[in-house]
Structure formats: structure tokens, C-alpha cells
Amino acid sequence: MGTPEFPNLGQHCSVGDCRQIDFLPFTCDRCDHVFCLQHRSYISHQCPNANVKDVTVLVCPLCAKGVRLNPNEDPNITWDSHVNTDCDPSNYQKVTKKKKCPVPGCRETLTFSNTIRCKDCTKEHCLKHRFGPDHKCPGPRKMDSSFSFSNMLRKSQKAETRSNSSKNTSSWWSSSLLSAASNFKTSAEAGMQKLSTATSQAFQKAKDGISPDSSSSSGDLVEQCIHCPARFSTVGTLIEHVEKSHQTNSQSSRGRVTVDVCPKCHKAFRDPVLLVEHVERDHGGSSRA
């Protein structure tokens, strides 16, 4: 077999009835035997290991998971091992249940190609109900109206503490904003304290029963409003004036939220200190647009 130049050239076919010399033989990747062109397939030489690399998967009716059958193992043993260790019936609904459009009366199944997420209510809808009026979108979430002035001051104090403890030096623009926020906080606290003191004193005088005659008899009992230049002869008149003219304004201003806007990216912040940190972190300390 072969030639003097190539002594190993060519091999006999492994099939007993063939034994043909093939100079380009084929080696079976399952049984590692050599075959000729005619007997190279698994069926033609009846390969005993033809099903070694076959993949057979059964879907479990209890958990909807795929169970791969091992060719060298009894299928019953493989199935019992899955049921006792890996089977989870609660997974069946997660796999088989298909997501549908939440609009009442619409039973469209949501797939990758027909699903749209609303940017306002963040819910997924079909293409037919992708617009807000079609699925009765409630709109974007409103700003929380319970934001109190005291919480804003508390956050400002914490931000100031963090800024003072940091070792990085701030620019002139950031330091000026910090001083403005501090002055605003101080003036607001002084105004609230002054209003509370004046109101308590006025109510205390009214409770003590100071009469209009006694107030007119002494020159130092002429009452003046702390909010406007108006003057009154009695404490009761001053209290009525404050309740009617200034108390509603103070309550409305107390619930109002002041928002500062970044001059470069137009992003809004409730706390001026957070605005300063945003400019230093995202814009390099420059406020020019």
C-alpha cells in the first residue's frame, strides 16, 4: 500500500465487505474508523455511536423548562432527576403568560415590535394606544406640594457642611452663590421669628383685655403693622388687619417653592447649593452659556 515516496498513502475501508483502498480516506468523528467515499456516512457504515452528539430536549408541562435527554442515560431517570431537583411549577405562568395592552377592551399581545412605553405614565401600550388620549394617560407626575421651607433650609445647611469639609477650593462665582443662599436663609429665619413674636404679642395683649380708651390715653400704645406703614389705635384692629391682609399672603408664600435654573443647561434646582455643585461638577465651574 502506498508508494516508495509516500509509503503511508491510502488506507483500507473499515467495512468488512468493502476493504477498498482509498487514497483520500474519511475518518468517522464518532467511532474513529476509516471509511471510503461510499461508506463515509453514519448510516452507510452503521455507526454505533451516531446518536452520541444528538440533542433531544423535552419541555416540562409543569414548569415549562427544557429538559435535555442524555443518550447514555435512561430518559426516565433523567426525568425523575428534573422533577425532584429543578422543577418549579411557579415558573409556568411567568413563561407562558404573555403581556397584553392594559387599555380596557384591548387584548393586543405586546411583543418587541409593537410595544411603546409612554414617557409620561411609563406604562407599555400597543401601537394603537400609544398616544396619551388613546390610553387616558394621567400625564406626568406633579411636583410634590408638601415641600416645606424648613426642609429646604435643612438641606441647605447639610450642603454647606459638606462644602466646608471638602478640601477643594471653590471659585468666586460659587462662593458668591453660597453667601447669597446663606443671607437668604438668615433673612428668612429672622422674618419668620419676627412675625411669630409680633403675632404672639398682639394676641397676648388682646387676651389681657387692653381697651381702646386705655390705649388712647397713653401715647406709646399706638400700634403699627410690621408689614406695611398702616397704624391703628387698638390691638384688636391691628390683629384684624394682619389676619385679613397679610396672613393669607404669608401662608401662600410659605407653600411656594423657589427654583433656581442653571444658566448653561437650564436644569432647575430647589436648593442654590445644589445648583453650585452641579455647575462645578458638570460645567467646570463656568456659568457662561
The model's pLDDT over 163-198, given as tens digits with 9 standing for 90+, comes to 665 545 555 656 667 777 777 778 778 878 887 787
Contacts of residue 117, defined as CB under 8 A and 6 or more positions apart, other chains included, come to 123, 124, 125
The DSSP H or E segment spanning 115 is: strand 115-117
Closest C-alpha among 29, 54, 57, 56 to residue 41: 29
- The Cβ-side half-sphere exposure at 45, using a 13 Å CA radius, reads 26
Residue type, 1: M
pLDDT tens-digit map of 35-74: 999 999 888 898 888 777 677 888 888 888 888 888 778 8
Query: Apex CA 160: angle with CA 171 and CA 267, to 5°?
Result: 65
pLDDT given for residue 26 in this prediction: 92
pLDDT tens for each residue of the chain, 289 residues long: 556 677 677 888 999 889 888 888 899 988 889 999 999 988 889 888 877 767 788 888 888 888 888 877 888 888 888 889 888 888 887 777 788 899 998 888 888 888 999 988 888 999 999 998 898 888 776 655 554 555 666 776 677 666 665 545 555 656 667 777 777 778 778 878 887 787 777 666 655 544 444 444 444 446 777 778 778 777 778 788 888 777 655 555 555 556 677 877 877 777 778 888 888 888 876 655 4
Nearest Cα to 100, choosing from 61, 128, 64? 128
Pairwise CA distance, residues 198 & 191, whole Å: 11
Q: What is the helix (H) or strand (E) element at residue 117, kind and residue range? A: strand 115-117
Phi–psi pair at 231, nearest 5 degrees: -120, 150
Residue (of 100, 95, 142) closest to 125 by Cα position: 100
Q: Does residue 47 contact residue 53 with C-beta atoms inside 8 Å?
A: no
pLDDT at 220: 46
Domains of the chain: 1-52 (4.10.1110.10), 57-96 (no CATH), 99-141 (no CATH)
CA distances from 210 to 195, 207, 218, 224, 275 (A): 21, 8, 12, 16, 51
Q: How far is CA 251 from CA 3, 145, 189, 227, 257, in A?
A: 110, 13, 15, 14, 12
| C-alpha grid cell, residue 278 | 452641579
Which of 119, 124, 116 has the alpha carbon at shortest distance from 141? 119
Residues 210 and 201: their CA atoms lie apart, in Å, by 12
